[in-house]
Structure 1
């Protein structure tokens, strides 16, 4: 069947399937956009929550600064009551503790430690020891549980990240959040990333106008402590319950998320009461949002969880895709059936026309074969006469004549055997040429051949044998081989281009009688043109140079064989033979 007949069917099917695909994609996109908007709403709510919560916690620190300013010599009990009254577990969940830090000079450290011990804290110790430019000490940290007790007496100014936040708070007069730190409250178990927020305390309770004045007036800090894996879930549970069921949340310290700066990851939640669905795959929706908290950059990375992604209702899209595909195939099948029927009718007409044409070609070939048979018989008689004459000329005795004449007749018989080749036999062009032309060569140098190995098919062998017999007959009758000094040079070359090649054959006669161009072409010329131009779809040109006739044959070939299979010679060298 011709493919062209089904092009309209194919176009209709592609058009319908394309329309189905577009409609399904639009439905998929609409469902996905709805879920994306849900995701963005959840992400916006979480971002706003973190900003608002951190601002509200800063207000707690401002209240602590006010308490210190109201009671410059605030005691341990007073600080405890103040923090208790704030009810941070109820209104500010997730806070590890709120503490008071005092600024010290080196010469004050020893008396300060003694004062704390006399106040009922015999284990109070300032650390780390050593000389530095500036000193601070954690005085109070409430609630006073076992974790917070580990941090009391620690000089946070001795650690670079804490010091950077404390200096920023001191110089600006505002709250300052530290980078990711390892808290003094941590032990070897359930280690979490920590963050600290500092609010400066100045003498006289006022914030000086200049940086230098603020540095001189600084007396201490009120600060908040956050263990992030405890802090974030409790904030979410109080303000946006269910968020961690819908969103995968990560918080990084800094503008670029790196593993070293990871502060919170809901996949690491281990405390009881937090049951999250497994992530298990790449989220359908993701977003990365930078925020600034108390002068420090955080990056919030959010991803959708299956609970949120299940809001994508793809049922309508799937129905449209399946229904549209079935309808498209049904319509295409109907159109294809009509095209098939039309094609069958056209094929029947084509087969009938082909049968008529084939019978006509068979009649033409039969007529040509009859004419060729008559012409070949005449040529054989002429060739036998010429062979006998040439053999007698160079035979000194009757016995030598008889022997040479019989051998040449046998060679001639082998040539005509090639017209009925074995179907499995593909002779080499060089061997084929030498075998055909051997009976015509009666003296040394009569034939010189050269060319690479080229295999010829049965059809090519039959048609080329007609060509070479005609050329040899003409050379024997009228050309170079009609005189003892004559010579024929037969050369060929094979130009290969991928799976196609072209064989060029040149027949050149020399040292024969003067060449005269014929006034009209005979049957032999027609046989040569038939064998090359019609039989092999090639081209033959003849030039009648006075020094010797020249025939050039151009033979195009198409073969599935590789060049190595077409040229079996291992060394690839051209073959050159001299016949006598």
Structure 2
């Protein structure tokens, strides 16, 4: 506290330098505002950089996953040729149509096959392709060479792809290098940047191709010499880079812009440049990531786009700066008025000292609140500032809450020298004295609260609890948000009467209004942080589920291709199994991937055969995602076998599917029973197909249970018994 002599000395100094003090206040306030704004700007910049890097990782992973998907499609195409000695153009077109390239694989220009022939086989190949419906087919360009890699199949056969039919890709050194790499390694290989022969329009795009080798025989030869000798051709796909990446990124306002280079950016081979890419490098955030595409090294340069800048939140910096400047201006104006008043009126030193302390408190609290986003520290700062500003012995900030006994108020912050003595007392309730404050109706100020007619009317204490320090002067100010919600109230007390003046009331009311804005901002900041964390969690979960699904589809394709002797059988089996997987995923998606009802899983697989052909019986059971997918695939395989060879292959046959929950030695288990009746006599199969392997081995391992599959003459039977970790309520 200042003494009278110190205050008098300061007054004489101010009289000599009445212009110095306001200038210093302005300078200090401006400096504090600049520091707060700079800190906020730096925090927002770091947050923007983190958000940019998160967007980069998500976009990069999306590109990588999509390219791996295309490679998987090419592997499946190569498997078609490896599984058949003679694939016709009609069969290949049917295979490509089944894939539904435009819908499932947007951005791919086509799916094709190039035949590897010697010069003396050219006439035979041209005649064969003409017999298959390609009128006027010829291999071009016409030039002497030792080997030829001619495009013979390319779907869909639109105008662009027709222009490429018959082209010998080995005549181009870039394409030839990629084909030779794929041939010698036995793995997919991407070409460098090329101009596709499909570019027949005015607006040409950069292109590239991915090749997967196909050898005579079913397996990849062991040595390079054998691979060169047994090469049949290449399954391949051409890509127009702009179409591919444009469809991959969705065509929406991106948060990042990107530029893709074939190899090192210094080489200047730009494959794709997205809209919004700044050639002059004016983006605030930039980074590069390597990308491997079928053995080819790409470099992806990323820059912050308009979508990221639009969510940067830097407007908060301007709010901080404007608030700081406003507070500095107010403090500076008050300081100027104070200096003039002191020089002109020479008011009492005690009053001047009190005014200076009030202004210092407002400036300190205003600076802290404007830059503070931690809710607990913010409320404590407001409570401390109000207590100092009013000269109260005790100050408290209470929140509005609704408990089991109705509306009440929770203590959030205490301030003042006597805080310890108040910590053990009960919270205030909805009484006549507190209601105006916590409903936001009005400020309550009393010189002696014990004389207020609303005081002492509520049981059990009829006033202050026993042992409560005496409070005479009382000031309660509601804290109301911009939306009109009453957040709580600031309550101040003093043991002496008449301490809180009208001026103190106005100051605390202004501080409460500033606190309400700051609390809203802190809540908003916390909400934004939680939403960002939740969004990141959802994206990671989606990425994980998509990868798991792709791995399951790849496994199904691989196992199906091994067990099918013809492409038609492969397509039929593969589509059926994918549909079973899709049915399970639909049920799981409807349940937010928390589980799926067993009865609906069974009905989905047996519905195509009619209700009278399938008897389904069992209690309500919800399966976890992994168990639901496994049982769905098993039901599909059993139903398919029954339709081909068992009870569902004759009009009077029937399938009985039931389940029960049993308790064995304290362990809860789910027992599923499949039984076929009324069908033709059954004999055990001579060999185990994919379905038998999936049920007999894969299902038991996946469910950590037991599977019994037998084939008595009366009809196939299957019992699946495994630990039950789901629930019976959903």
Which structure 2 residues correspond to residues 191-206 of structure 1 after superposition, within 5 A?
191-206=204-219
Determine if contact 1:284/1:309 at 8 Å carries over to the other structure: no
Where does 1:287-366 land on structure 2 (aligned, <5 Å)? Answer: 287-328=287-328
The superposition leaves residues 186-243 of structure 1 with CA deviations (integer Å, 9 ceiling, x where unpaired) of 1241211111000001111211222222222211100011112222222233xxx73x
Q: Match for residue 256 of structure 2?
A: 247
Q: Deviations over 1:155-176 (max 9, x none)?
A: 1111111111111111111111
Larger Rg: 1
Name the SS of the counterpart of 1:95 in structure 2. coil
Which runs of structure 2 are paired with 1:162-311 in the superposition (5 Å)?
162-237=175-250, 242=252, 244-256=253-265, 260-267=268-275, 282-311=282-311
- Work out whether residues 107 and 239 of structure 2, in 8 Å CA contact, stay in contact via their aligned partners in 1: yes
The answer to whether the aligner puts 1:33 opposite 2:46 as a matched pair is yes
The one of 140, 154, 166 aligned to 2:167: 154
**What CA distance in whole angstroms lies between the structure 1 residues aligned with 2:227 and 2:67?**
24
SS in structure 1 at match of 2:272: strand
Q: SS state of the match for residue 73, structure 1?
A: coil
Please tell me whether the aligned partners of residues 254 and 261 of structure 1 are also in contact (alpha carbons under 8 angstroms).
Answer: yes
For residue 103 of structure 1, give the secondary structure of its aligned residue in structure 2. Answer: strand
Which fold has the larger relative contact order, with Cα–Cα distance below 8 Å and residues 6 or more apart in sequence?
Answer: 1
Q: 1:257 to 1:188 in 2, by over 3 A?
A: farther
Q: Alignment partner of 1:45: what SS?
A: helix
Unaligned runs of 5+ in 1: 268-275, 344-580
Q: Give the whole-Å Cα distance in 1 for the aligned partners of 2:48 and 2:39.
A: 14
Q: The residue matched to 2:197 in structure 1 has which SS?
A: coil
Checking the alignment, whether the CA contact within 8 Å between 2:277 and 2:303 is kept in structure 1 is no
Query: 1:340 Cα deviation (Å)?
Result: 11
The answer to whether structure 1 residue 101 and structure 2 residue 114 are counterparts is yes
Correspondence for 1:20: 33
The question of 1:63 aligning with 2:76 is answered yes
2:257–2:277: 8 Å Cα contact kept in structure 1?
no
Distance across 2 between alignment mates of 1:159 and 1:68: 24
Residue in 2 that maps onto 1:393? none
CA shift digits 1:278-316 (9 cap, x unpaired): 999933333322211111122222233333212122333
SS at match of 2:290: strand
Aligned counterparts of 2:123 and 2:17: Cα–Cα separation in 1: 102
**Count, aligned residues:** 331
Aligned CA distance change for structure 1 residues 176 and 154 (closer, same or farther; 3 Å): same
Contact map agreement 2:81 2:87 (CA 8 A) in 1: yes
Partner of 2:137: helix, strand, or coil? Answer: coil
TM-score computed with the length of structure 1 as normaliser:
0.51
SS in 2 for 1:179: coil
Shift in Å, 1:265? 2.2
8 Å Cα contact 2:258/2:277 also seen in 1:
no
Residue in 2 that maps onto 1:125: 138
- Per-residue CA deviation, residues 346-371 of structure 1 (Å, 9 max, x unaligned), is xxxxxxxxxxxxxxxxxxxxxxxxxx
With over 3 angstroms needed to count, the CA separation of the structure-2 counterparts of 1:78 and 1:7, relative to structure 1, is same
Q: Which whole-Å CA distance do the structure 1 matches of 2:279 and 2:226 have between them? A: 53
- Do residues 43 (structure 1) and 56 (structure 2) align? yes
- For residues 134 and 193 of structure 1, what CA distance do their matches in structure 2 show? 27
Aligned position for 2:466:
none
- 1:196 is paired with a residue whose SS is strand
Q: Report Cα offsets for 1:81-120 as digits up to 9, x if no partner.
A: 1111111222111111111111111222232223322333
In structure 1, the partner of 2:87 is 74
CA distance in 1, matches of 2:206, 2:332: 64
Q: C-alpha offsets along residues 244-293 of structure 1, whole Å, 9 cap, x if unaligned?
A: 443323222222166x52222233xxxxxxxx899999333333222111
Q: Deviations over 1:495-542 (max 9, x none)?
A: xxxxxxxxxxxxxxxxxxxxxxxxxxxxxxxxxxxxxxxxxxxxxxxx
Distance 2:126 2:108 in 1: 27
Aligned counterparts of 1:249 and 1:146: Cα–Cα separation in 2 = 30
Q: TM (normalized to structure 2)?
A: 0.41
Q: What SS does the aligned partner of 2:109 have?
A: strand
